[in-house]
Every structure is written in C-alpha cells, then in structure tokens.
C-alpha cells in the first residue's frame, strides 16, 4: 500500500517525538516539573512552543472557530487511560482544496505529538475520532493543514483525572494475548459517492515502555502501534502516524467515499515491525 504522508516521513516524526520525550522524562523529573492547573495562556505553553517549532517551524497558525475545525474533548479526563477525542474539519474535501493533515498534540504528555492523520479527497471528510491517554492537566490541540499550506488550530484544556486513575492499560496481559486482532466495521447505509463512517479497532497494549521492572531495574521495551494505512478500492483514504499516547487497544473512526464496490483494506504496523492486515468488502447503494 502506498503511504500518503507528505513532507514528514515516519523517521522524522519518531526523531521529533524522541527529542521531546527526553525533555520530559517521566518520574525522574517529577519534582522539578511545573504542574499547571489552569487553562490560561495556551500560546505560551512551553511544551507547545517546542512542538510547534519541531513540526511547523515559523509558519503562521490561525486560531479558528467551530465553523472551520471542531475539537471534542472532555473538560476532565474521567479515565486517564481512555479519553475520547474527536477532530472534525468543516472545510470541503475536494481535489482542488482539502485538509491534508490533522495533527493531535497533547502538550503535557511524555510524548506530546499523539498522532498525525493524513487525508485525501477520497476520505470525503477530514474527521477522526480516537481515544488517548492524558497524563496531566494539559492543553489538547488539533491543527489542520490544508492542501494549500494553511495551518488552522483549535485548543482545549483537559483536566487530569484524579484519584486512582492512571494512563497505563487495565490488563496488558490480556491485550498482549490477542495482539493484532482487529475489528473493522462500516455503520449504517453505504451510499455511492457519499462519505461513509468506518471504525477500526486494534487489540494492542500500546505500551509506552516507561515501566521499570522492579527486579532488573530495566525499562520494558516500548511497543505500540506506529502506523495505520487505510485504502478503499486501492485508493488511500487515511494514513495515521501514531504514538503511545493512543490508548490501549487503539480505536479509530474515520470516513471514506465509496465510488463503486470495493474492499476497505487496512494495514497496521507496530514498533516491533509486526504487521497486520484486515479488509472488508463494501457494496454501496446507488
């Protein structure tokens, strides 16, 4: 399957992510790390300035409203391990003008660049719903990049979950036992030429690798879903570069436009280079 990432290839993203992880190493620096509690001054968030420089350099980024870009995220992370997030671009998705990428940034996570989603006109809509881990009180950002090179941003402040809720998965042993199992689903009537909602579920512990073994004092190797590529009838509709900020058992809801009968095909690759494929035959109604 042809990857549809543009300027950024996977290695660059990994490198950017790794550099940012280094600057907020979990645990060791907990006492010196500033802990924010309020949603004031999103533009001056220290981590955002680093992410912004690494992803967008000095390009202008416009703050936009719900008529252009919607970011749905809860006010408080009820379960720190599973926080639903939806990004919906309200711009036309045509060959002439479309949203080519959606970036999901969680400023105060150990790896702030949670995901980069790439779309094509065949996506029909540049929309994505997923679930993420939220470590701390943080700004969550959606940045849309258009085919003509504009950058548009929405920002929300999400309060950390309190009490006994934490970002690690609930049952890593169970997730590992069914590693790579997928469920691919298309909901509702499928109409020829209309954007159609699909859901992909991947069984995977999506391990951050930040857990130290108490006996060996070694960190467990990180293993998480790195990329998801989806095509319909051979045409790319979604390419996702993901990080361990995505919850255990990654879940993606996205759109595609069926222009005739075809297969919705998915390829998933994790950081251990394990790859899994799934496909679903679709027969749109006229």
Partner 1 sequence: MWPPHRLTAALVLAAVLHATTTAAQGPASPAQSASDVPALDLPALDVTEIAPGVFLHAGKLEDWLPANGGDVANLAFVVGSRCVAVIDTGGTPQLGRRWRATIERSTRLPICYVIDTHAHPDHVLGNAAFVSPDTRFVGSAKFNAAMAARAPYFLRALERDFGVSAAPDAVVYPTIAVDGTRELDLGGRTLVVQAWPTSHTDNDVTVYDRSTRTLFTSDLLFVQHIPVLDGNLRGWLATLQQLARVDAALIVPGHGPTRRAGPEAWAPQQEYLETLRRETRAAIKSGKTLSQAVDSVGTEAASRWQLAERFHRRNVTAAFAELEWEE
Phi, psi for 227 (deg, rounded to 5): -145, 145
* Shortest distance in whole angstroms from residue 126 CB to partner 1: 18
Token pair 């929300």 is found at 156
Expressed in angstroms, the distance from the first to the final Cα of the chain is: 28
Is the CB of 211 or the CB of 274 nearer to partner 1? Answer: 211
Extract the tokens encoding 238. Answer: 């979604």
Spatial CB neighbours of 66, under 8 Å, sequence gap ≥ 6: 90
Binding interface with partner 1 (CB under 8 A): 26-27, 30-31, 33, 35, 37, 72, 74, 78-80, 82, 84, 86, 129, 131, 135-137, 160-168, 170-174, 183, 187-188, 201, 203, 210-214, 247-249, 251, 253
């Amino acid at each position: 399957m042809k990857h549809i990432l543009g300027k950024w290839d996977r290695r660059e993203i990994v490198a950017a992510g790794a550099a940012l992880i280094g600057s907020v190493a979990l645990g060791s620096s907990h006492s010196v790390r500033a802990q924010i509690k309020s949603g004031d001054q999103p533009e001056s968030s220290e981590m955002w300035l680093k992410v912004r420089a690494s992803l967008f350099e000095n390009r202008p980024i416009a703050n936009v409203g719900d008529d252009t870009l919607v970011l749905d995220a809860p006010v408080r992370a009820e379960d720190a391990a599973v926080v639903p997030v939806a990004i919906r671009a309200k711009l036309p998705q045509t060959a002439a003008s479309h949203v080519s990428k959606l970036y999901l940034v969680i400023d105060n996570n150990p790896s702030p660049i949670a995901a980069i989603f790439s779309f094509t006109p065949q996506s029909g809509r540049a929309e994505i719903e997923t679930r993420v881990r939220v470590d701390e009180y943080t700004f969550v950002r959606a940045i849309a990049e258009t085919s003509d090179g504009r950058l548009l941003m929405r920002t929300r402040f999400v309060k950390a979950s309190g009490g006994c809720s934490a970002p690690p998965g609930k049952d890593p042993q169970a997730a590992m036992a069914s590693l790579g199992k997928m469920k691919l689903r298309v909901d509702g009537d499928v109409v020829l030429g209309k954007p159609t909602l699909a859901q992909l579920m991947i069984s995977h512990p999506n391990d951050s690798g930040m857990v130290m073994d108490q006996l060996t004092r070694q960190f467990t190797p990180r293993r998480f879903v790195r990329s998801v590529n989806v095509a319909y009838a051979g045409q790319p509709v979604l390419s996702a570069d993901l990080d361990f900020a995505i919850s255990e058992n990654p879940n993606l809801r996205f759109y595609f436009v069926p222009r005739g009968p075809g297969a919705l095909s998915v390829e998933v690759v994790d950081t251990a280079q394990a790859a899994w494929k799934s496909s679903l035959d679709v027969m749109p109604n006229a």
